[in-house]
């Protein structure tokens, strides 16, 4: 059912738009009349939220089922179903960040599958030649939100804006991109086991990237390695 369940991704991407429309016309007589005819205690916006809540409940249900069926018939299928649901939730979450990218002139749908996204400290060196990493490390890092696609790595700056008096919404202002077919990676940077390097054009451009944890760094390196090989 994985392909069918991916409709949740589209639904969640459209949720900010449906909320905006509801704020415009939610108090119209038409919707009030629909609610009265259907004898619904709650208004339409409460039902529009249901799929967003439900997508996280499938994996909880599957986890409970697995607890009750260890080493029994169907355990392998339940484990596969749980892995699938967790993958879909990750895709939904990643895609919600992706739709907030601004300033990228290309079409993000042409960059391949979105594999990972997250915030990092980034140091850069654009000089030609081989500058030593320790000389770079003194400078203050930039805060960058990275989007890893199969074809491209995007560097964005996260901005938070207030919308119509509602919660702050994040947007990601595009700053730079690297084609994955032209980059190299250095898995370890001396002095900090949370850092790794991505370099371009024979180290003409070097990006030192610091993750919030060693585990996160290793997950990203693993995904980048898969793309490069």
Give residue-wise pLDDT tens across range 174-205. 999 999 999 999 999 888 999 999 998 888 88
- Kindly list the structural domains of the chain, giving each domain's residue range(s) and its CATH number in brackets, ordered by start: 2-97 (1.20.900.10), 103-228 (2.30.29.30)
Nearest to 195 by CA among 130, 122, 143, 115: 122
Which pLDDT belongs to residue 138? 57
Residues forming a β-bridge with 186: 197
Distance CA 207, CA 70 (A): 46
Which pLDDT belongs to residue 61? 95
pLDDT band at 125 (very low <50, low <70, confident <90, very high): confident
Asked whether 61 and 86 are in contact (CB, 8 A), the reply is no
Which pLDDT belongs to residue 64? 94
Which pLDDT belongs to residue 165? 56
- The answer, yes or no, to whether residue 131 has pLDDT greater than 60, is no
Mean pLDDT of the chain: 88
- The answer, yes or no, to whether residue 166 has pLDDT greater than 80, is no
The DSSP 8-state label assigned to residue 110 in this structure reads G
- The answer, yes or no, to whether residue 128 has pLDDT greater than 70, is no
49 phi, psi to nearest 5 deg:
-80, -20
Mean pLDDT of 72-97: 91
More confident position, 211 or 203: 211
Which pLDDT belongs to residue 220? 96
Nearest to 184 by CA among 154, 213, 204: 204
For tokens 């250095």, the residue is 186
pTM of the model: 0.77
Residues forming a β-bridge with 214: none
Distance CA 88, CA 109 (A): 18
Q: pLDDT digit string (tens) for 52-73?
A: 999 999 999 999 999 988 778 8
Which pLDDT belongs to residue 162? 67
- The answer, yes or no, to whether residue 99 has pLDDT greater than 70, is yes
């Amino acid at each position: 059912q994985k392909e069918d369940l991916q409709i949740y991704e589209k639904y969640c991407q459209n949720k900010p738009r449906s909320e905006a429309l509801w704020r415009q016309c939610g108090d119209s007589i038409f919707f009030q009349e629909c609610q009265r005819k259907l004898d619904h205690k709650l208004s339409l916006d409460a039902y529009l939220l249901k799929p967003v809540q439900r997508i996280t409940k499938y994996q909880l249900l599957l986890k409970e089922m697995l607890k009750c069926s260890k080493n029994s018939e169907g355990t392998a299928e339940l484990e596969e179903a749980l892995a699938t649901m967790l993958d879909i939730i990750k895709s939904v979450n990643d895609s919600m960040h992706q739709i907030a990218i601004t300033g990228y002139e290309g079409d993000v749908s042409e960059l391949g599958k979105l594999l990972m996204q997250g915030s990092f400290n980034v140091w850069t060196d654009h000089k030609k030649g081989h500058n030593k990493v320790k000389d770079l490390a003194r400078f203050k890092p930039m805060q960058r939100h990275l989007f890893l696609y199969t074809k491209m790595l995007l560097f964005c700056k996260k901005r938070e804006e207030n919308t119509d008096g509602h919660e702050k919404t994040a947007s990601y202002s595009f700053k730079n991109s690297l084609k994955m077919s032209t980059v190299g990676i250095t898995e370890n940077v001396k002095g900090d086991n949370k850092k790794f390097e991505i370099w371009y054009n024979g180290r003409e451009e070097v990006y030192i990237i610091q993750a919030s944890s060693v585990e996160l760094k290793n997950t990203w390196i693993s995904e980048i390695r898969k793309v490069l090989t």
